[in-house]
Amino acid sequence: MIQDAEIHKVYIYPNPLKGEVYIDLCNLSSMMSYEILNRQGQIIQENKNLIIRNTISLKTLPSGLYTVKVKSKNTVMIKKFLKL
């Protein structure tokens, strides 16, 4: 199980972005996943098995504000980012 303090060791960058977003995990002690949601709250991309370094291509998405949720078994971290 990942502790609450450990999920804060997740880095999501760059913000704003043009084509790719990176999710880096400093401590991978349990299964973690992500979801990317549009402004309407619809899941537009997800991965149920994160690794230490994740590159996510968003080149085909229109410009706008998106939300990324990084989830462990008991914790969720939510960040917003802007695609140019």
Q: What is the pLDDT of residues 40-82, one digit of tens each?
A: 999 999 999 999 899 999 999 999 999 999 998 888 899 999 9
Q: Decide if pLDDT at 29 tops 70.
A: no
Torsion of CA 58, 59, 62, 66, to 10 degrees: 20
pLDDT score for 31:
83
The answer to pTM > 0.85 is: no
Give the integer Cα–Cα distance in Å for 52 and 66: 22
- Domain housing 13: 4-83
Please tell me the distance from the alpha carbon of residue 54 to that of residue 62, in angstroms, as a whole number: 21
CATH number, domain containing residue 16: 2.60.40.1930
pLDDT at 17 over 50: yes
Taken in order 3, 11, 62, 32, the sign of the CA dihedral is: negative
3-state SS class at 19: coil
Backbone angles phi, psi at 4, to 5 degrees: -55, -40
At 83 the pLDDT is: 96
pLDDT at 38 over 60: yes
Q: Is 23 helix (H, G, I), strand (E, B) or coil?
A: strand
Check whether 34 has a pLDDT greater than 70: yes
Domain count, the chain: 1
Q: Predicted confidence band at 21 (pLDDT cuts at 50, 70, 90)?
A: very high
